Structure 1
Amino acid sequence: MKLYIGMKFFGHDTNVVVICPEKNYIFAISTERVTRYKHDTIYPIKILENIFEYTKLEKSLIKNIVFCLAEKDYAKKLNFSNWYEYETALREFYNLKYKGELVRKHNSFKLLSLDEQELIYNQSYAGKKLFEIKKSQQKNAVTISEEVSKYINKIFDLSLNEIEYFDHHKSHALGSFVLSPYEHAIAITFDGAGDGYFSKVFLCSKDKFEYKVGSKRKNFYLDDIDCGNSLGNIYEYFTLKLGFHRFSEEGKVEALAAYGNFDNEIFYKLKECLLFDRSNLTLDIDQKLLYKYFNKLAFDDYLIKFSKVDIAAAVQKFLEISIVNYISSIVKKYKIKNIVLSGGVFANVIVNMRIFEEVTNNIYIIPAMSDDGLGLGSICLKLLEETKLEENISWIRKYNTQYLGTSYSKEEIISVLKNTANIFYKDLGKDWMKKTAEYIHNDEVGAIFHGKMEWGPRALGNRSILGNPLNKNSINKLNVEVKNRPFYQPFCPSIMIDERERLFENSYINKDMTCAFIMKEEFIDKIPCAVHIDNTARVQFVTHESNPNYYKILSEFKNLTGYGVLLNTSFNKHGRTIIESPQDAIDDFLDTGLNFLMIEGIEVRKLKSEN
């Protein structure tokens, strides 16, 4: 039996995807779900070491493994040798469970003198180990391919295997087309950077996958930040300047923008910086103007002159109109209305809504739109090399690719519960869905854990926190007692597919929560928690076929309230990743103000303190 393992091995959002065509089987997981370090950059070694435990595939039946990586420049030298050993030792040294805690501790540590640092290193075995690795690291010592082979060779028998490397944007594009409902489409990618480009365009069909045009990424520094000429990187730069974490909190800028007014000089100066070559369909940025308008001193002045909401609105509107105009030109040139989108920029649901409303109704955004989708795309490129695309992967389109992650048996869950203090639990059997709806109707906030974990950044009802969207107090409770999030971040609704046309004038069946839609005015006051300040809702439409248990909860809630709508946010404490395991579920349940947890039909509650 032949196995294909696709990977993002380097950089943010490392991940692993496994495809076994002979069994029509797919498994996918991001490293961050295992380590609980958001957008983790560490090599996905832990996943690879446990891949047969995760997939439950019989190792003895595997005769050949093809490793596929979205790293075209595999001969490129890495900055440092022994990077994985260093990063692992760093985490052992600080012994902190979550990324935010480690970053804060490490930043404080770096303020110490070198002598003070060495003294602290020598106080523990982990510190001594970290210090020795730091001393032994060499710059530009190994290539990407040498580093990958080194670790794969430790885990797998390479005599039976092969390693293949593919283009970053090709991997994005083909993965999105394969999962789309279209027989032919334009695939468009947009991200910060990848293999020398920040955007590419492909024409896709059953018979061909053809590269048409791309926008090259150029290095360019603003305030010591490599901003480049990429629209995605510019948005990241604004994220940082507004006081958020670059590479992870761009969604906060998008949310904040709805409160502001884009009509200011920042917006018009950004527009002035954009260079759109309409004849060649390429994008670029005038770097001299960008530096002139947005260097450190200039931006500091903007932060005094304008509110943060208006700055956010300016960069958000700039991103929207730039991408809408660009995609409109592409659709007009190639005369194809079906478009499939991938790359981190398309995590912006308002951008996607503008494309849907202003360019074409035939739109598909891959659930794992960021680099966590590269593993699947790189495997598809390998399958395309081996045979006709349709012959080898037609079955993938029928697969429920919303949920490709880990799952746990009731026995495994009970084992964790038995070893947890300060809780009580009972197995509700098939009644758990009805009970969940009743508890939420009574304004409790709870979490659900069942089936396979979601693939991509959204919680889609299998690792979710749920609340009552009809009660305005639900948002305050979620923000203050559970998620500890700022007020301006919207919570998203999961909605029965039966309610789509009733609640929205203009929408499409989006089951992945990758696009926003404007709710009909008559329902905004009735379902206040389901919409943002601009009356948009980032919706997950739920069908019985895609998630029967979750559909049942929505159906029961509709019986109680008249609305098949639930408030849905990811199951995690703020600053942590979405939970992966039963132990993660218990940890975050106990660390937040959640009223209850439903985990594979078992209701879990906290024992009340005698105090």
Structure 2
Amino acid sequence: MVILGIHDGHNCGATLLKDGQIEASVCEERLTRVKNEVGYPELSVREVLSLSGVQESEVEDVVFASQYMHTADHLSDVSKWYKVGKKEQANDEKLTQEELLKNEQRRKAERMQKVIDQLGVKPEQISFVDHHLAHAAAAYFGSGFDFDKETLVLTCDGAGDNLSATVSIGVGDKMTRISATGRNDSLGKIYSRITFYLGLKPWEHEYKVMGLAPYADAKYALEVKEILDGYLKVSEDGLGFEAVGDLKMNYIYERLRKDLELKRFDAISGGVQMFTEELLTTWIKNAVKHTGISRVVCGGGVFMNVKANKLASEIDGIEEIFVFPSCGDESLSFGAVWLKSIEKGSSAEKLTKLHDIYLGRSYTNDEIESVLKTESSENFEYEFIEDIDKKVATLIAENNVVARFAGRMEWGARALGNRSILTNPKEWPNVERINSMIKMRDFWMPFAPSMIAEYSDDYIVNPKGIHSPYMMFAFDTYPEKSREILAAVHPRDKTARAQMVTREANPRYWSVIKHFYDLTGTSVVLNTSFNLHGYPLVMSPKDALSVFHNSGLKYLALENYLISKRA
């Protein structure tokens, strides 16, 4: 059984499932080198087929995530449809259901034609799945939990297929939806529009707003939060959200500008974070109480907010919680292929559990050597090192910054060690060193710690024993330990967006951190993504060398080759 899943919207990409196993998944941005690429992911489709060793003729089913998807032109410039208010809402409400249906059918035909032209599949091989059902399926089937007892499945995002949040109960192969919130009452839309109001890029820079929030004075953040309380609330039944008044969340920008004028930027960030945390956790508490289910899985872009996830994980009554890695729309193609597999007669138990998300391309030492020989060596030198992982750890222990390129590329928004920049977390000046060398991050933004999983309790407060291999939760740190890894925690509130690294999931990256531990007594390294500011994570050796040349990086480990800049 070969199933190809496609997400053809914002941060588009493709996933291939073969006989119940996720063989490959790639975001289009890695291939086009355009951050958060939009549209039909032609290159990703080609890439996942190649990585899986599958011929075009072997694809049995193609499934698009989302019944409806905007055009690439529409998605490329949100300013056209963010700066709207009551007047535009009134105009849009005049559209008839017949007009909307015709538009959906036209877009489906256009989307189908893309894959027909590329792969030569027949129309009857192509299907579409509901947006929030795909988010739910990604979280449920990707959780790794046993399917023999009930699981509470939550989705929350900006909107997709006219919904913005759902509550479902999963058991066995089936998920039963018990509540749905419409697109007009979206929690996610408020956060994205405030991101836009602050001069940042919506659907990309929300994490910057979250990172700034702890710097706000609580008094002024609360003032902003109370303003937002007048926009949206938890619904009367407790299982969804509803607007306060007649204004739909698509059309709040003009009101936001008036309400937030002269409010400090940090207070706005703190206020929207406080507002989001309160509504999200109240909603989750209600769902847990209503269903009596203590095991929770989550998907959708709102759950990219690791600070809100932290609070969700601390809710009384929740014993187990899983948030799908990089759970924005880029994750939809996972849910799509799992749903299609179940529809075709497979079972949840037969689906291979998601062992890790290193699902992209890897490169051999011979391939890398070939690339190195074609590059000018005037400014750098290289050598083959048998135990490169130990060498990387030694360089980090000596307080160097090292870019690491090893194994299969990780999927999603987070760098998880294989396309990462690493350094010593014990030295605060390393934050400025990395920023001046390459990252140019906003001054308030933290870096993240990768830590040996079995030693993680030494550093983070984790009473429920949540496993966090994908950086989807923030954790409080113990005061004495936060000082030890100061460069890898949030400077203001000392939380850590931790990656717990196991030997089983990534033996070589685990080895780097273990060698560092043997040398320093600290089982944590500072990890940030290997890319130039504003660009996607590197994919190929050529990408890595381009970043190396165009930054202040001194060391690059390309598989077993250590590249060093000459003085």
TM-score (norm 2): 0.89
- Give the C-alpha shift of residue 484 in structure 1: 0.8
Describe the shift of the 1:53–1:251 C-alpha distance in structure 2 as closer, same or farther (beyond 3 A).
same
Describe the shift of the 1:313–1:46 C-alpha distance in structure 2 as closer, same or farther (beyond 3 A).
same
Describe the shift of the 1:479–1:141 C-alpha distance in structure 2 as closer, same or farther (beyond 3 A).
same
Q: Check whether the contact 2:64–2:129 (CA below 8 A) recurs between aligned residues.
A: yes
Q: Check whether the contact 2:16–2:49 (CA below 8 A) recurs between aligned residues.
A: no
**Deviation larger for 192-201 or 179-188:** 179-188
Letter in 2 for 1:299: R
> Residue 490 of structure 1 corresponds to which residue in structure 2?
446
> Residue 255 of structure 1 corresponds to which residue in structure 2?
211
Q: Check whether the contact 1:185–1:204 (CA below 8 A) recurs between aligned residues.
A: yes
Alpha-carbon separation, structure 2, partners of 1:234 and 1:196: 16
For structure 1, which runs of at least 5 residues remain unmatched after alignment?
88-98, 108-138, 219-228
Describe the shift of the 1:41–1:298 C-alpha distance in structure 2 as closer, same or farther (beyond 3 A).
closer
Structure-to-structure mapping, 1:24-423, within 5 angstroms: 24-55=21-52, 57-59=53-55, 63-73=58-68, 143-159=106-122, 162-183=125-146, 184-218=150-184, 229-263=185-219, 264-279=222-237, 281-288=239-246, 296=254, 299=257, 302-304=260-262, 306-359=263-316, 360-393=318-351, 395=352, 397=353, 399-421=354-376, 422-423=379-380
Describe the shift of the 1:204–1:143 C-alpha distance in structure 2 as closer, same or farther (beyond 3 A).
same
> Residue 510 of structure 1 corresponds to which residue in structure 2?
468
Q: Check whether the contact 1:570–1:578 (CA below 8 A) recurs between aligned residues.
A: yes
Partner residue of 1:481 out of 398, 420, 437: 437
1:275-322 deviation digits (Å, cap 9, x = unpaired): 32242622112255789x975476367342x32111100000000010
Partner residue of 1:582 out of 541, 554, 561: 541
Letter in 2 for 1:377: G
1:132-177 deviation digits (Å, cap 9, x = unpaired): xxxxxxx969822322232222222324970011000000111111
Q: Check whether the contact 1:33–1:578 (CA below 8 A) recurs between aligned residues.
A: yes
> Residue 566 of structure 2 corresponds to which residue in structure 1?
607
Alpha-carbon separation, structure 1, partners of 2:430 and 2:471: 20
**Deviation larger for 208-217 or 294-303:** 294-303
- Give the C-alpha shift of residue 475 in structure 1: 0.4
Describe the shift of the 1:295–1:392 C-alpha distance in structure 2 as closer, same or farther (beyond 3 A).
closer
Q: Check whether the contact 2:116–2:122 (CA below 8 A) recurs between aligned residues.
A: no
Q: CA RMSD in A?
A: 2.6
Letter in 2 for 1:321: E
How much identity, in percent, do the aligned residues show?
31
Alpha-carbon separation, structure 1, partners of 2:278 and 2:104: 44
Alpha-carbon separation, structure 2, partners of 1:297 and 1:6: 39
**Deviation larger for 207-216 or 167-176:** 207-216
1:564-588 deviation digits (Å, cap 9, x = unpaired): 1000001101111111111111111
Alpha-carbon separation, structure 2, partners of 1:28 and 1:165: 18
Letter in 1 for 2:467: I
Alpha-carbon separation, structure 1, partners of 2:467 and 2:46: 38
- Give the C-alpha shift of residue 420 in structure 1: 1.4
Equivalent residues, number: 533
Alpha-carbon separation, structure 1, partners of 2:117 and 2:49: 15
Alpha-carbon separation, structure 1, partners of 2:104 and 2:241: 35
Describe the shift of the 1:513–1:148 C-alpha distance in structure 2 as closer, same or farther (beyond 3 A).
same
Alpha-carbon separation, structure 1, partners of 2:545 and 2:63: 35
- 1:500 and 2:497 are equivalent in the alignment: no
Secondary structure of the residue aligned to 2:151 is strand
1:512-551 deviation digits (Å, cap 9, x = unpaired): 1100000011112222112111010000011111111011
Describe the shift of the 1:564–1:171 C-alpha distance in structure 2 as closer, same or farther (beyond 3 A).
same
Alpha-carbon separation, structure 1, partners of 2:245 and 2:15: 38
Alpha-carbon separation, structure 2, partners of 1:567 and 1:33: 23
For structure 2, which runs of at least 5 residues remain unmatched after alignment?
81-101
TM-score (norm 1): 0.82
Alpha-carbon separation, structure 1, partners of 2:327 and 2:356: 13
Alpha-carbon separation, structure 2, partners of 1:45 and 1:163: 16
Alpha-carbon separation, structure 2, partners of 1:182 and 1:545: 18
> Residue 96 of structure 2 corresponds to which residue in structure 1?
none
**Deviation larger for 520-529 or 532-541:** 520-529
Alpha-carbon separation, structure 1, partners of 2:125 and 2:362: 29
Alpha-carbon separation, structure 1, partners of 2:212 and 2:415: 21
